[in-house]
Structure 1
Amino acid sequence: MTTDLVERVRHRLAGESRGTDPIALAEAVRAEAGGALSHDAVLAAVRQARDEFVGAGPLAPLLEDDTITDVLVTAPDEVWTDGPLGLSQTTIRFPDEDAVRRLAQRLALAAGRRLDDAQPYVDGWLPARQGRIRVHAVLPPIAANGTCLSLRVLRPVTHDLAALQAHGCIDATALSILQAILKHRLAFLVTGGTGAGKTTLLSALLGAVAPTERIVCVEDAGELRPTHPQFVSLVARPANVEGAGAVELPELVRQALRMRPDRLVVGEVRGAEVCSLLNAMNTGHDGGACPLTELIRVFLQVRRVAASFPCHAFSG
């Protein structure tokens, strides 16, 4: 199925205001091909057209695999996945560079973002049945060797502390320390590199908080899903295609303080939200928490900000 035929099918469906169900696609393919395709060729063309028009296209089966956390496209013939065994190259191939670019632009549009020559990179979120999908794409000439597309699947984490101990992630001593931190309402940081399990551990800790305590969580991505009856999640919103409408973490932290939290949790501290978090802890909100990837950099931020406070921002 040539690029020209794909475009003609696209325009026909748009002109007829029809959906992209298999019947509509098959009829549009036959009409645009002029009856020159066999039944097998029509079926193959319909599959390719669906890949062009719907969802993540040829990457969809990879995103549905529970063992895959990342799908990376670095060239039409280079599609990689990351999972329990690390990076591995798949057999999936795109017809050409234009096909990768079209998929990246369609995913950007689904995320409510713009991706074109004037805005050659994008970072956004896609809803998905398996969790949430973070999409990042860069177009040439910024990406020198062709369009680069990165998809990360964030699946809900449901392990509790007992499950983590059963899997050997923490031992009995660590479990008792974690339980003591929660019992005495100490503020704590969960630190580690990317993929180290910070979100998994924090979710388990929040699930162990007493059900009488109200947890208000502020995040960029909405990763935390602890099993707790009073868990309230606030998720940041990026700017729209016009560059307006952004709701960032510092503002959400201020809003969370008005929601009567017993515990305030920030999903990731990277910038100005550290000031709002310290303000909250300095005014009597005990038992707060946040995960940190870049501990040293944020610690220096904390030191600079905390120096202006009359009392200690953290205990524990």
Structure 2
Amino acid sequence: MGWEVVAQLRAEASSRLTARLEKEGSRLTDDEREQVGLAVIAELVRAESEERVSSGQSSWAPSQEEHLRQALYDAIFGLGRLQPLVDDESLENIIITARGAVVTVWLEASDGTLSEGPPVADSEDDLREFLADLGARQNRPFTEARPSLHLRLPGGARLAAASWVTAHTSVVIRRHRLVEVSMEEMVHVRGACSPALADFVSACVRAGKSIVVSGIQGSGKTTWVRALCSQIPSHEMIGTFETEFELHLHEMTGRHRIVHAWEHRPGSGEIGVAGRQAGEFTLEEAIHDSFRFNLDRQIVGEVRGPEVWAMLKAMESGPGSISTTHARSAEHTVEKLVSCAMESGPQVTRELAISKIAAAIDVVVYLQADTVTDPDGTQRKRRWVHEVLVVEPSPDAVMGYSATSVFRPDGTGSAGTAVATGEISDRLCRDLVRHGFDLDAYNAESTHTRPLNRGGGAS
């Protein structure tokens, strides 16, 4: 059954649903509205099936009717033709490009393989209309005046779209497959790091060190933040601050007892006298409000630009904050954050940005990703920790900070996998050992690259 049948019936189903809901008034909950919608869809499909028989056409099979009911439900309450793709557990990314009448869909599976997908719109205008409707549901306009769209989709996937300012309409939907991930899984199932590295970063979390997880796009930064957060004691009260919910710590009630989750809300309409759009709610405002919530930790999700100031305020105000950012190497992570801070205006000098960032960040965990081919020819995407840096302020007039590799690749393990270097200071050792750090295991791993650490490594 083609989508054109769904398109023909969607308007009628929406009209009937609107009329039914108007009779019910505003008393209904979202779940009750959905049940009304399901009833309306069932009635419409049954009526259309009977009409086909009356007009001499062949009747729909029960399976066709079920598919039609599901497609109408997806069109009204869900993501339309995208819904089956977003529901597909084997997919990690859905990439869509549209120019005129040509709409192309590529599907990236969790093993890194690409395949062409089914059409999700009839044209670029059709896709734009769908995206605008999707954005309107979350008060996030998508128009020629607001040509970019960032959304959290039902189920936790993240959508990014751009049009009018790009050569063609582009959409990428990222599905987060690993939500309730543990550090043990990162070591023993994913092979993302050694036990010694997992032990080190776990101790850093427990010791209240502020951590930035960095890497290129698709390297698994959000998954690693979730793994690090699994080491936060369950009694601690957590606040999360994100442009779109991706961490979902507030949904892991069995792991974290109390999580207050804030999400940025863009404004709409004209800019007021204060220079901002009505209804806008920023991460900076969320951080400010959160100081009345008795939080043990404030975790700012992704830092792409101005969010760096929310990250810094969280790191300066309490222990154990965790954030992510994009960077091309471990050492460039600090420089990337300095650039983000300086974008705020000429009043933020490089010296000021470095001094703030070097004083706030304790550890950088840098990730890499690649698609590898196994001996049997199977392709899979591999993600791993490439390097771990300890960052400290420094009197160096040029750099303004020091960055020491406590884990880095040395060629003895899997390609690119970080191993212990032994370059860890006495002060940091003492602090982490109090929080369960196994220094003997770290030293044992470091013997592959240098003599045993005696507590006096580089700082």
- Pick closer, same or farther for the CA change 1:119–1:175 going to 2, 3 Å: closer
**Which residue pairs with 1:206 in the alignment?**
229
1:71-93 CA-to-partner distances (Å, cap 9, x unmatched) read 22224552211222335233513
Shift of 1:3: 6.5
Structure 2 residue 179 is the aligned partner of structure 1 residue 132: no
Structure 2 residue 59 is the aligned partner of structure 1 residue 39: yes
| TM-score, with length taken from structure 2 | 0.56
**Which residue pairs with 1:288 in the alignment?**
321
Larger mean Cα displacement after TM superposition, 68-77 or 184-193: 68-77
Shift of 1:174: 0.4
Q: Which has the higher strand share?
A: 2
**Which residue pairs with 2:104 in the alignment?**
78
Q: Provide the C-alpha distance between the structure 1 equivalents of 2:6 and 2:85, rounded to a whole number of angstroms.
A: 27
Q: Provide the C-alpha distance between the structure 1 equivalents of 2:230 and 2:321, rounded to a whole number of angstroms.
A: 14
SS at match of 1:203: helix
Is residue 213–residue 323 contact of structure 2 (8 Å, CA) maintained in 1? yes
Structure 2 residue 294 is the aligned partner of structure 1 residue 260: yes
Larger mean Cα displacement after TM superposition, 35-44 or 83-92: 35-44
Q: Provide the C-alpha distance between the structure 2 equivalents of 1:286 and 1:164, rounded to a whole number of angstroms.
A: 24
The correspondence for 1:151, drawn from 173, 184, 201, is 173
Structure 2 residue 337 is the aligned partner of structure 1 residue 298: yes
Q: Provide the C-alpha distance between the structure 2 equivalents of 1:12 and 1:47, rounded to a whole number of angstroms.
A: 11
SS at match of 1:132: coil
**Which residue pairs with 2:263 in the alignment?**
235
The percentage of counterpart residues that share the same residue type is 25
Shift of 1:230: 3.7
Is residue 30–residue 37 contact of structure 1 (8 Å, CA) maintained in 2? no
Structure 2 residue 39 is the aligned partner of structure 1 residue 22: no
Aligned-partner residue type, residue 122 of structure 1: L
Shift of 1:29: 7.7
Shift of 1:247: 1.4
Structure 1 residues without counterparts, runs of 5 or longer:
none
Is residue 79–residue 91 contact of structure 1 (8 Å, CA) maintained in 2? yes
Is residue 158–residue 246 contact of structure 2 (8 Å, CA) maintained in 1? no
Aligned-partner residue type, residue 228 of structure 1: H
Q: Provide the C-alpha distance between the structure 2 equivalents of 1:13 and 1:213, rounded to a whole number of angstroms.
A: 46
- Pick closer, same or farther for the CA change 1:25–1:202 going to 2, 3 Å: same
Q: Provide the C-alpha distance between the structure 2 equivalents of 1:299 and 1:123, rounded to a whole number of angstroms.
A: 24
Is residue 73–residue 150 contact of structure 1 (8 Å, CA) maintained in 2? yes
Q: Provide the C-alpha distance between the structure 1 equivalents of 2:144 and 2:81, rounded to a whole number of angstroms.
A: 24
| TM-score, with length taken from structure 1 | 0.78
Bigger-Rg structure (1/2): 2
Structure 2 residues without counterparts, runs of 5 or longer:
21-36, 271-276, 328-332, 342-349, 363-389, 391-459
Aligned-partner residue type, residue 267 of structure 2: A
Shift of 1:63: 1.0
Name the Cα RMSD after superposition.
3.8
The correspondence for 1:270, drawn from 304, 314, 317, is 304
